Amino acid sequence: MTPTRQTAVAVLGLGPMGRAIAATLVGSGNPTTVWNRTPGKAAELVAAGAVSGPDAASAVAAAQLVVVVLSDHASVHAVLDPLAEQLKGKALINLTSTAPEESRELGAWAAGHGIEFLDGGIMAVPPMIGGPGASILYSGAVSVFDRFRSDLEKLSAADYFGDDPGTAALYDFALLAGMYAMFTGFFHGAAMVRSAGISAASFAPRAAAYVAAMAELLPAYATVIDSGDYTDEVQPARFHKPAFDAIVRASRDAGVGLDIVGPIKNLIDRQIADGRAGEGLERIVEELAGNR
């Protein structure tokens, strides 16, 4: 039986994420060419079997699939603009964190040059790439996603979110916003308990279990948000206000700043001031969206 020919991939950008992606592809047997602006980052990859291109143009020459893992939108253009002609007819995946509008702009740029474009949002840190738990969200050309899906699944779970190149980035940043709010909430709690001599280490397992239990409520919140009917007879804003005011007082008493919880108190107060005291906490979605 003839062995299946593996996809030839070029990885442009060898920061920690680019190196993890290239290492996984090389380790999976993909012919892999790599390039980085500053030399000296490819040694381990070359030892593992990658070919290091002297410049980006030679790195992409033999590739069917070009993956860019750079620092931002400007760096993607800085690297790809001079390669536009050469990329014509190839598949391009941008795994650089770019804002949705920037991903759409890259999609339009690629379409204008006859390049098939898929954008990706990486929901993992470099050591997770190629292992369980990593996920990359994709949107853009379904042809690229379908054709190279087996290669993408070597890196992580791969989910496709439609042909708008900005959707994966939108999901990515929406998830990250929630992640940052969750982590900073934990930091606030850790500062509170530390005022009583309780270590973050003993607080963390309790916080992790509680966050996991509370995450179970998200689908119910989502149903309310999508219905647009926020009436809540059990836990409306008027129920949350005294509880949250107590959190603010307890924080102050513990000498902990209100940078994290202060804005949440303001949102609850605003909901009540807007005559929404009988509606649930989920109505904050409308407050945030400016629907007052």
> Residue 10 contacts by C-beta under 8 Å, 6 or more apart in sequence?
32, 33, 34, 35, 53, 59, 60, 62, 63, 65, 66, 67
The mark string for 110-129 relative to ligand NDP (x by CB under 6 A, - otherwise) is ------------x--xx---
Nearest approach in angstroms of CB 95 to ligand NDP is 6
Q: Any idea which residue has 């190839």 for tokens?
A: 90
Binder to ligand NDP among 13, 140, 166, 189 (CB under 6 A)?
A: 13
Selected binder of ligand NDP within 23, 25, 70, 134 (CB under 6 A): 70
By CB under 6 A, residue 7 contacts ligand NDP: no
Q: Which of residues 24-53 bind ligand NDP (CB under 6 A)?
A: 36-38
Choices 75-83, 152-160, 204-212, 282-290; region in contact with ligand NDP by CB under 6 A: 75-83
Which segment (9-17, 129-137, 233-241, 261-269) binds ligand NDP by CB under 6 A?
Answer: 9-17
| C-beta of 2 vs 38, nearer to ligand NDP | 38
Give how far Cα 269 sits from Cα of 114, 154, 238, 241, Å. Answer: 52, 48, 9, 7
The reply to whether 21 sits near ligand NDP by the rule CB under 6 A is no
Q: Which of 17, 118, 158, 284 binds ligand NDP (CB under 6 A)?
A: 17
Burial 164-185 (b: 16+ CB within 10 A, else e): bbbbbbbbbeeeeeeeeeeeee
User: Which of 203, 117, 126 lies closest to 168, judged by CA?
Assistant: 117
Cα separation, 291 vs 225, in Å, equals 13
Q: Which stretch binds ligand NDP (CB under 6 A): 65-73, 155-163, 187-195, 224-232?
A: 65-73
Spatial separation of the C-alpha atoms in residues 220 and 280, rounded to whole Å: 12
Least distance to ligand NDP from the beta carbon of 11, Å?
A: 10
Residue 56 C-beta: closest distance to ligand NDP, Å = 8
71 sits near ligand NDP (criterion: CB under 6 A): yes
The reply on whether position 158 binds ligand NDP by CB under 6 A is no
Does 271 bind ligand NDP (CB under 6 A)? Our answer is no
Spatial distance between the Cα atoms of 220 and 134, rounded to a whole number of angstroms: 26
Nearest residue to ligand NDP, scored by beta-carbon proximity: 15
Beta strands in the chain (DSSP E): 9-12, 32-35, 51-52, 65-68, 91-94, 116-123, 135-140, 157-160
Could you give the angle at which helices 73-80 and 100-112 cross, rounded to 10 degrees? 10
Residues that bind ligand NDP (CB under 6 A): 13-18, 36-38, 69-71, 75, 78-79, 96-97, 122, 125-126
